[in-house]
Amino acid sequence: MHNFKNLKIWQRGIDLISEIYLLSNSYPKNEIFGLTSQTRRAAVSISLNISEGSAKSSNRDFARFLEMSIGSSNELETLLIIARNLAFIDDKTLFEYQQKITDLRKMIFKFKETLNI
């Protein structure tokens, strides 16, 4: 069992949540129950899966939750691409967040490899 609060992947995910909430505040108000909500849920899901998986009794189970976390990062990136396509964010902002998501995804993947399953 791991203490999720000590994991850099969880901490980085928490930082990303705050950034995504601030970013999505600029989305049109009619998207509050649509793209805004879905984007925020995807960002939150990354760290939620890390924290939930850290409580599992086996590394194999934890790895499964890390895979779900990676899936949530893919979902978040897709939602940001949609936001750019709808002109809610610009290309520069999309690129900046894609880099952050890619870096976090790589960190999660590397951490998963340390579980020796």
Q: What is the 3-state secondary structure (H, E, C) of the chain?
A: CCCHHHCHHHHHHHHHHHHHHHHHCCCCHHHCCCHHHHHHHHHHHHHHHHHHHHCCCCHHHHHHHHHHHHHHHHHHHHHHHHHHHCCCCCHHHHHHHHHHHHHHHHHHHHHHHCCCC
The total number of structural domains in the chain stands at 1
Q: What is the pLDDT of residue 44?
A: 98
pLDDT tens track of the chain, all 117 residues? 689 999 999 999 999 999 999 999 999 999 999 999 999 999 999 999 999 999 998 999 999 999 999 999 999 999 999 999 999 999 999 999 999 999 999 999 999 999 987
Find the CATH number of the domain harbouring 104: 1.20.1440.60
- What is the extent of the structural domain holding 60? 4-113
pLDDT attached to residue 1: 67
pTM of this structure: 0.94
